[in-house]
Structure 1
């Protein structure tokens, strides 16, 4: 059973999400929060496996709450949600530790799929957001000198290959097929390279690959 905490300042939105998720045989909503501070407290008490986190809330916003939750409970996955799917919000949530970001106008089926994806330890970013993110934000102005790009110097040649393929959107199975190795071997490479570059999940690994210059946006 996937336990879920709902975080949104609108009660009607929380009610709708609860109805959708509780109707699934493998999901259970264990709590609700209307703002970030309450979300952090309930995450600490309830230890949900997935937190559905609104970005814009009074007081502590979704970005700050996500950073605190993922720092305190590494096993809890956060899936960001927002009416506004601006690139800077997506990146802010992913950098704070979220495992994905979806706009609120997705279908119930897409919401359920997103929860299952982040629960598996993978990243869930709506295709339209990921495409635009790579096409605009990643090739925007260079980062300030004071902020260092993620270091990939410690990666082996094979780990670099795997990271590039992850950044191109390939699953572990597809990577195994391309490199002619077993899926378990790919999983070991992924675990190792995530540890070396400090990535929590695939979403953060994609950002690290672009910022380190291993891949560039395709035209």
Structure 2
């Protein structure tokens, strides 16, 4: 509930929660649904091709220096790509990135 909710809305929310259901205001629901729409056909669709490539290498277990060497980039550039990936995916750790990448089919070691 938002702090500007009407008393009838608060009463309805209390009854709904007491019954075991959840309540989201329209603005909160629109925000949540808007984030869900960011992943229409796959959870990585918001990433650039280079970011997907970096994420794939992270999911293979490679460190930043190795990724930089493999892609002929500076380690700083790799770090920038990783920061962008974390922001776009709404994650905060390399472990979360690996899980998200593997769920999307990335991280398979290629010969």
- Category of TM-score, reference length = shorter chain: 0.5 to 0.7
List 4+ stretches of structure 1 deviating above 2 A: 214-218
Q: Which runs of 5+ in 2 are unaligned?
A: 1-41
Deviation at 1:179, TM superposition (A): 0.4
From 58, 67, 71, the equivalent of 1:179 is: 71
1:94-113 matches, within 5 Å, as none
Deviation at 1:215, TM superposition (A): 3.2
Bigger fraction of residues in helix? 2
- Residue deviations 1:90-140, cap 9 Å, x none? xxxxxxxxxxxxxxxxxxxxxxxxxxxxxxxxxxxxxxxxxxxxxxxxxxx
Deviation at 1:182, TM superposition (A): 0.5
Bigger radius of gyration among the two: 2
Residues in 1 aligned to 2:104 and 2:50: alpha-carbon distance in whole angstroms: 16
Bigger fraction of residues in strand? 1
Residues in 1 aligned to 2:47 and 2:100: alpha-carbon distance in whole angstroms: 13
If the length of structure 1 is used for normalisation, what is the TM-score? 0.30
From 202, 207, 219, the equivalent of 2:94 is: 202
Ranked by relative contact order (alpha carbons within 8 Å, sequence separation 6 or more), the top structure is 2
Q: Which runs of 5+ in 1 are unaligned?
A: 1-149
* Distance verdict in 2 for CA 1:216–1:177, change over 3 Å: closer
* Distance verdict in 2 for CA 1:205–1:157, change over 3 Å: same
From 37, 45, 53, the equivalent of 1:153 is: 45
From 166, 170, 184, the equivalent of 2:58 is: 166
- Residue deviations 1:151-183, cap 9 Å, x none? 100100000000000001111111000000101
Deviation at 1:213, TM superposition (A): 1.6
